[in-house]
Chains A and B, each alone.
Chain A
Amino acid sequence: MAGNDREGAGAPVQVRGTVLTVRRVDAYVAMTVVAPQIATRFKPGQFVAIAVGGPQSGMLGRRTFSVHDVRPDHGGTVEIVFLPREPGAEWLADCRARDVLDVVGPLGRPFPLPRDPASCLLLGFGAGAAPLFALAARLAERRSQADFLLGAESADRVFGALTARRTGRSAVTTTSDGSLGARGSVVDLLPTVVQQARTDVIYASAPVSVLRAVCSLAGRYGIPVQALVSEPSMTCGTGLCMGCVLPAVGNDGITRMVRACVEGPVFRGDLVRWDDVGTIPFDALGAPGWKPRPVAGERSNAS
């Protein structure tokens, strides 16, 4: 099992990063921070955890954000995209160039890349689309095709529709209110897109409700999904607090409560028990009433 005892090139670091730019992109705020050590280690799908509110902050939880992109300028910068709708994110949105932030990263399991060129569908909902563009660039380097399927509640919440159209082989957008692209959800359009693009693998980054539907549809078509989860929300991002757990099946067939921040945020779609997110399934390792399976060869008295 991939342990969290990571060292060397991929290990996360805690750095003081200087804000380079803060700009509005429709409903979102895009922020670039100078953090060379994070930028050089980053792989698409990973995230950063930022302390908000200053050194004596009353907000103890870090805020976690998927990295949108890294660039080599100033030694290495990291860009994040977020919706300023809670006090921590609002504080961050009010930061200006030259402000210094406490940033930890890159964290979490990145998107695994296909070994051979493949037709990939990149599905994003709202700000969840942000980590897909760095992934698309890596896929292009490996001569894989990227088709985009982006959705949101309304036009100003669709992130990166233009970039998707420019860099993807195809790009489809949907909104719940029909203000951009087709009216409806990304799940409605998924069968059509998958058939037209002859998709080999789906990379999805969306709320759990969308991921659940995507994984169940993809399962029907026999297409593997790599799903980036953003719920349950993370408190520390580093695996210390055990707050962001969801039930997932291991290679041994046993369900465990795993941390989205360390064992994820990217999970193989068929291994997450989407219907049981937010619960402790009765057969999960260590659930109330759970009993260790008898060791092979050991006979129970009942038989």
Chain B
Amino acid sequence: MPADLKTKVGHLELPNPILTASGCAGTGRELAQFTDVARIGAVITKSVTLEPRAGNPAPRMAETPSGLLSSVGLQGPGLDGFLQRDLPWLLSRGARAIASVAGHTTREYGELSSRLSDSAGVTAIEVNLGCPDAAAAGRPFALDPVAAGSVVAAVRGSARYDIPVFAKLSPEVTDIVAVARACVAAGADGLSMINTLPGMTIDPATFRPALAGLVGGLSGPAIRPIAVRCVWTVREALPDVPIIGGGGVRTGRDALEFLLAGASMVAVGTVLFHDPSACSRIQRELEEELTARGVDRVADIVGRAHKTAGYATERRSWV
């Protein structure tokens, strides 16, 4: 019998643990040409801002070894456009939508969350803490436990009680556990990690940085070990907090790695640019990987890497 991929986290119930990472699934329509969005565990939307945003100038993307540097600058239609066009479309296709929110002040985050809660259909909220904090000279919220906590508190305070709030953490900190603890203390129901790492590449033809924004966020398989380490460390410190893990997930085996490290759900991001049907493929591969190891339910292996008895010894006792 194939392994059961049903995922239940608090009162969030998903048919499988494979999600699309924020900013990597377009509005959902682009992806729907190649895969059934209703069969994706949940679609984490492009970060929604209060006002429409034009984003950064091109070039916005640069390919690096097993990675991608990007600086899109949160181009999007703003909250009104999202609520009028993008969210209804996702719901009409039977997709579950986790709304990612982004702002420059805690007030903006609060307003976004309260208005998202008022419109039916948002499964959960992910707080993009990677935005520059207007009150701290543009330092991203995610780099400071106090700033991150105050944003999460604003979101939790204005979101409806039954909508789970996930805080998306940055790996670019000395102590990710400190930020994780601050977010949970401020009311986060779960954590999402990791956001991109800042990087730069220089074009040898122009002698200038390849991106118009100079610095971009590095994503893709290049950062996977960093993401796994972050998930592991946070799970070790906060074993009861649900985690959305992600960073360069390309195959079912990669997803399994994040589950073992302690993630309950796995987000597929940059790899969607390479393979727009990656979500359904990774789901199938994960099911096969679990079945091959005699695992009945995906929930059974979440955080298993933290148990000292390895898989091989335990399997002998199972048989």
Contacts and interface: CB of A to CB of B under 8 A. Distances in A.
Interface of A: 3-7, 11-14, 51, 57-62, 102, 104, 232-233, 235-236, 238-246, 256-257, 262, 277-280, 284-288, 290, 292
Given A242-B72, A262-B30, A286-B78, A236 B273 contact: yes
Given A4-B30, A238-B33, 11 more contacts: A3-B29, A12-B34, A51-B275, A60-B63, A60-B66, A61-B274, A104-B276, A240-B273, A241-B72, A245-B58, A257-B75
A245 B65 CA distance: 23
Contacts, number: 127
Given A11-B33, A60-B68, A241 B57 contact: no
A241 B72 CA distance: 8
Most buried by B among A11, A238, A241, A287: A241
A242 B105 CA distance: 25
A287 B30 contact: no
Contacts of A287: 54
A193 B282 CA distance: 54
B26 A246 contact: no
5 contacts: A61-B68, A238-B34, A240-B26, A240-B31, A262-B30
Interface string B54-81: 1111111101011110101001101000
B29 A241 contact: no
A12 B57 CA distance: 27
A243 B212 CA distance: 11
A240 B276 contact: yes
Contact of A241 (B61, B78, B275): B61
A245 B25 contact: no
A9 to B, nearest CB: 13
A5 B52 contact: no
A243 B70 contact: yes
A51 B274 contact: yes
A278 B57 CA distance: 5
Interface of B: 24-26, 29-34, 51-61, 63, 65-68, 70, 72, 75-76, 78, 89, 212, 220-221, 270-277
Contacts of B63: 59-61, 235
Nearest to A285: B52
Given A60-B271, A61-B273, A62-B274, A5 B51 contact: no
A286 B274 CA distance: 28
Contact of A238 (B60, B66, B76, B276): B276
A243 B61 contact: yes
Q: Which 10 A-B pairs have the closest CB atoms?
A: A286-B52, A243-B61, A236-B273, A232-B58, A286-B54, A239-B30, A58-B66, A286-B53, A235-B61, A287-B54
Contacts of B276: 14, 104, 236, 238, 240
Contacts of A244: 58
Given A60-B68, A240-B30, A102 B51 contact: no
A51 B220 CA distance: 15
B59 A243 contact: yes
Contacts of B68: 60-61, 235
A285 B78 CA distance: 10
Contacts of B89: 5
B54 A290 contact: yes
B54 to A, nearest CB: 4
Contact of A104 (B32, B34, B53): B34
A212 to B, nearest CB: 15
Contacts of B55: 242, 245, 257, 280, 286
Contacts of B32: 5
Nearest to B26: A240
A263 to B, nearest CB: 12
A176 B31 CA distance: 42
B270 to A, nearest CB: 6
A245 B75 contact: yes
B30 A280 contact: no
Contacts of B25: 240
Given A4-B29, A245-B60, A240 B53 contact: no
A279 B78 CA distance: 20
A61 B56 contact: no
Given A61-B68, A240-B24, A242-B72, A102 B57 contact: no
A243 B60 contact: yes
A79 B221 CA distance: 31
